[in-house]
Amino acid sequence: MELGGRAIDEEIDRRTAALVPGECAALVYTSGTTGEPKAVMLSHDSVQFECASVWQQLSSEGVGTEPVQERILSYLPLSHVAGKMVDIAASVYCAARKPSHVTVYFARPYDLKVGAIKDRLVACKPTIFLGVPLVWEKIADKLKALGATTRGPKKALATWAKRLALEHAQEGQLGGSGAYPPGYSMANALVLKKIKAALGLDECKFGFTGAAPMRVDTQEYFGSLGLNINEIYGMSESCACCTWSSNVAHMWGSCGYQMPGFEVKAFRVDPTDLNKKAECPRAPTLDNIDEEFQGELCFRGRAIMMGYMANPDLGQAHVDELTKKTEESIDSDGWLHSGDKGMVTDKGMVKITGRYKEIIIGEGGENIAPVPIEDHIKKCCDGINEVMMIGDKRKYNVAVITLKAVGANGEVPGTDDLDMGAKRVNPEVTTISKAMDDKTWIDAITEAINSANSNGKVCPNQAFKIQKFTILPTNFSEEAGQLTPTKKLKRQEVAKAYASTIEKMYASKDVYVHH
């Protein structure tokens, strides 16, 4: 045994001595929302620096500062940068460099698919929980459906407690007073603590979200439960997050401020040469979405990738292509170009307003960011699961819409049965098939679209408005190749799958076009 132990120690020493900070430590494949996935090379130094920066931020939340157990629930693919960095690298770093140690609970591979994540949360009671927006939204949907069945004094008590919690959450944003309204302590004891315990989040010190933008109404809902969901932002190429929101410095609708060791700026970039760029002026507020403040969000810092890996065995053409991809991502000044459209406010808060590859170019040359419009529609009709706008180089925009269904969790499309929340639109309609022919459903979606069309913040002129829509018979899913592993929408794949339906909408004179 002693001899074997010495041999292992010698091998560890040999490998440690061979490590070079600037050499590749990990390959992380991009999600491939708009093309083939690419292998991102992250150096040992990048990984270590990112971990150090993350734990510096978490320390301000009281995480990792005491010799106690911190707990993480790992359910995202470990091939994804979030799973690799949060569940593995950051946990090891904490054990090595912080007073705390981290216990990682691994969910079963199919837990997300079968809707068992809530059970794992209750068993794990994480002190840190990263949920992609879809996971938080599914939790919210179940709670809303349960709340809709509550009656009498219990309903009144819950409504009162949630109102006080939302008031406090709104004041807890950057620039707010942070004040607790009268009665908050009682509301917390009687209602909020019990809800958090039922979710398995009663010991959570820091809840956060990333991989895709989170809707403000979802953040508001969790705020009404006494839970602050902090939005962060980053990408595989930046070794995970490069902006951070904290419990003491956050604003709903923003993905936070630049982390230590990173620079984040919005540039107007020449589409023919990324080295030709000009920094956009900072916006006075998050609500000011004037084009002059918006540009491509770019990052610079120690954790930025080495580049995309090229395999010489695949030939010189492949090597040249990947070299070009790297040059198209990192400019001569070291700025990593994200492809995301956004802005930075006077207070340093970063906001994503769209993705350049998702931008719809109207027939008149207008640049239309679909996500704010899609999110507004979903907010106005609780039974809608997804909205995808189409309109690139078309006379007007149309939309394909999916409804919330039993078993639709992003991994699989689910069933034809509407879930509890969706049934509230019309209790007599219980399936997607029937909803597609139901006047109440069609009217509800039409009203939601009209609300977005008449909102000057999301639809500043006629070119932004949606003129027609259809309800699809099934939900988008990773299984069907329409969502990434982190549940981001692959718009090109959806457009390809429903090409005939889209053409049918443009050929029709009706606002609602049956699939």
The answer to whether the beta carbons of residues 251 and 286 sit under 8 Å apart is: yes
Alpha carbon 67 to its chain's center: 32
Residue 256 confidence (pLDDT)? 95
Does 472 have pLDDT greater than 90?
yes
- pLDDT digits 0-9 by tens, 242-283: 999 999 999 999 999 999 999 999 999 998 899 999 999 999
One domain, residues 382 and 264: no
One domain, residues 227 and 311: yes
Indicate the number of domains in the chain. Answer: 2
Stretch 394-407: mean pLDDT:
95
Q: Among residues 297, 328, 357, which one ends one of the domains?
A: 357
Residue 110 to residues 29, 59, 76, 113, 384: CA-CA distances in angstroms?
21, 32, 11, 5, 25
Pairing of strands 101-106, 69-74: parallel
- The CA distance from 256 to 242, in Å, is 9
- C-alpha dihedral (123, 128, 133, 136), degrees to nearest 10: 40
The total number of residues shown for the chain amounts to: 515
Of residues 60 and 203, which shows the higher confidence score?
203
- The CA distance from 144 to 404, in Å, is 13
Got the DSSP string for 237-265?
GGTEEEEE--SSS--TT---EEPTTEEEE
- The CA distance from 309 to 340, in Å, is 22
One domain, residues 149 and 280: yes
One domain, residues 271 and 212: yes
Residue 466 confidence (pLDDT)? 97
Residue 468 confidence (pLDDT)? 97
One domain, residues 414 and 494: yes
Domain contains 241: yes
The answer to whether the beta carbons of residues 91 and 72 sit under 8 Å apart is: yes
Enter the tokens of residue 429: 């309609």
One domain, residues 342 and 400: no
Stretch 417-445: mean pLDDT:
95
Mean pLDDT for the chain overall: 91
One domain, residues 148 and 242: yes
Does 333 have pLDDT greater than 90?
yes
Which 3 state secondary structure label does DSSP give 266?
Answer: strand
Does 196 have pLDDT greater than 80?
yes
Enter the tokens of residue 90: 């950051």
Enter the tokens of residue 304: 């930025």
Sign (positive or negative) of CA dihedral 87, 90, 95, 100: negative
Q: Among residues 357, 374, 403, which one ends one of the domains?
A: 357
- The CA distance from 408 to 429, in Å, is 18
One domain, residues 333 and 454: no
Q: Report the run of H or E that residue 216 belongs to, with start and end.
A: helix 216-223
One domain, residues 350 and 372: no
- The identity of residue 491, as a single letter, is R
Enter the tokens of residue 323: 């070299």
**How sure is the predictor about 35, in pLDDT bands with cuts at 50, 70 and 90?**
low
Apex 347 CA angle, 165 and 292, nearest 5 = 115
Enter the tokens of residue 159: 């409504």
- The CA distance from 98 to 65, in Å, is 7
Does 506 have pLDDT greater than 60?
yes
- The CA distance from 488 to 235, in Å, is 13
Residue 150 confidence (pLDDT)? 85
Instruction: List residues bridging with 39 in a β-sheet.
Output: 29
- pLDDT digits 0-9 by tens, 349-391: 999 988 888 889 887 788 888 988 999 999 999 899 999 999 9
One domain, residues 163 and 279: yes
Residue 17 confidence (pLDDT)? 86
Please tell me the chain's helix, strand, coil percentages from 3-state DSSP, rounded to the nearest 5: 40, 25, 40
Stretch 31-42: mean pLDDT:
75
CATH number, residue 336: 3.40.50.12780
Domain that holds residue 180: 21-357
Flag the least confident range among 30-34, 207-211, 354-358, 420-424: 30-34
The residue written with tokens 């925009």 in the block is 397
One domain, residues 313 and 422: no
Residue 501 confidence (pLDDT)? 96
The answer to whether the beta carbons of residues 404 and 421 sit under 8 Å apart is: yes
Residue 2 confidence (pLDDT)? 62
- C-alpha dihedral (238, 240, 246, 249), degrees to nearest 10: 20
Quote the pTM value: 0.84
Q: What percent of the chain has pLDDT over 70?
A: 97
Domain contains 140: yes
Domain contains 1: no
One domain, residues 227 and 262: yes
The answer to whether the beta carbons of residues 280 and 268 sit under 8 Å apart is: yes
Residue 31 confidence (pLDDT)? 65
Q: Report the run of H or E that residue 18 belongs to, with start and end.
A: helix 2-18
Domain contains 4: no
Domain contains 57: yes
Q: Among residues 308, 324, 357, which one ends one of the domains?
A: 357
Enter the tokens of residue 91: 């946990």
Stretch 176-189: mean pLDDT:
94
The answer to whether the beta carbons of residues 107 and 74 sit under 8 Å apart is: yes
Domain contains 496: yes
- Please choose, from the candidates 182, 177, 141, the residue with its C-alpha nearest in 3D space to the C-alpha of residue 161: 182
- Please choose, from the candidates 407, 397, 344, 338, the residue with its C-alpha nearest in 3D space to the C-alpha of residue 366: 397
CATH number, residue 422: 3.30.300.30
- The CA distance from 279 to 268, in Å, is 6
Residue 213 to residues 68, 262, 300, 474: CA-CA distances in angstroms?
32, 20, 21, 23
Domain contains 3: no
**What DSSP designation does 512 have?**
B
Stretch 461-478: mean pLDDT:
95
Domain contains 236: yes
Residue 11 confidence (pLDDT)? 86
**What DSSP designation does 291 have?**
G
- The CA distance from 81 to 210, in Å, is 11
